[in-house]
Structure formats: C-alpha cells, structure tokens
Structure 1
C-alpha cells in the first residue's frame, strides 16, 4: 500500500498509537465508589486538622466521613462509602476504617 501524502502516514500512525494505549489502572474501591484506607497508614499519629481530614477523605475515596472521639456515640450501620477517623483525647488520629 502506497501513501500519496507523507503526512497522512504520520496521522495514521498517531491514530493507531492512540488505540494501543492502556487506561490508568484503578482499584476495585475506586471503581465501585467504596472507601479504601489501605495506603493511608502514614496519617496515623498525626493531629486531626480540618485540612488533613479533608485530604484523607479524598485519598480514601470516601463519600461521607465521621470523626469519632473517645466516648462518642456512633451508629452501627455499615456504609462502604464512609470513612471513620478515630481520634484520641489529644485529637491525634489513631485509627482509620471504612464502613
């Protein structure tokens, strides 16, 4: 097959290269919209500032959030899209869970 225009050949190669690229891999939690704290252990022991809590919620892919201090009442319903941040009396993050 002979191409009459050299630029047409380059355009064809660019088009084919675009077809072969692979999409960025996403975790099952990101696809389902569920919370995931697997990679967030680095925030344990940090002070629970509003900015940090917002950042952790985004990184966990959580739609809802609750911060629980010692003695706080919490419902027992399970919500896979909710991030629970447990803090101690000094407002230091001691545990992250989803549900």
Structure 2
C-alpha cells in the first residue's frame, strides 16, 4: 500500500468513529433544548419578595418561583457571568457573597 492510501484510510476510519459518537437528531452543542413554557407563566416578582433576607436554599428558590408564577428561577451571585436577555418567565434572585437574597426581580 502506498503512504497516501494508508493516510486516507486512517482519516476515513477516524471520521467513521467520530460519526458513531453522535446520536441522530441531537444538537451539536450537546445540550437539549428546554420545552416551551406553558402559557400564562409570566413572572411577577411581588409574590417572591418574602425571599429577601433569606438564604437562597433550594426550597426558598422553588417557593419564590412558585409564588411569582414564573416558569424558572435562577440565583445570581456577585460578579457571576450571566446572559442578559430578558425573559418574562424567569425569576432572578440576586444574592450576596454569603448566599442571602438581596433583590428579587423578573427577567
């Protein structure tokens, strides 16, 4: 066999092996998209104001999410890098360095 044929065969074998790693129909980023939120799940931060001054434990975050009527909630730490797009169905809980909720807002 010539060197070109061996190199081409090895490259083809590598591509075939890599193709087997991806399941058909999965996004190339490796993450699955979230299902669309149900209608009527707009956030109202007034319902979650009770959380200000409390630690951002999972139970507190979930209760705040439910009381605000939002579809999802996230805890934002000081200097944390976050996406800035506005999402009317998301509750944001801004916490201090110790994890105590300082501010509750939608977006």
> What TM-score do you get using the length of structure 2 for normalisation?
0.60
- Give the CA RMSD over aligned residues: 1.4
Counterpart-to-counterpart distance in 2, 1:63 and 1:39: 14
Partner of 1:70: 78
Counterpart-to-counterpart distance in 1, 2:42 and 2:103: 18
Displacement after TM superposition at 1:42 (Å) = 2.4
Counterpart-to-counterpart distance in 2, 1:75 and 1:43: 23
Secondary structure of residue in 2 paired with 1:42 = helix
Deviations 1:27-67 (CA, angstroms, capped at 9, x unpaired)? xxxx8421001133222111111111111111111112211
TM superposition outliers: structure 1 runs of 4+ over 3 Å: none
Partner of 1:52: 60
Query: Where do residues 1-99 of structure 1 align in structure 2 (5 Å cutoff)?
Result: 32-99=40-107
Counterpart-to-counterpart distance in 1, 2:47 and 2:65: 12
> What TM-score do you get using the length of structure 1 for normalisation?
0.64
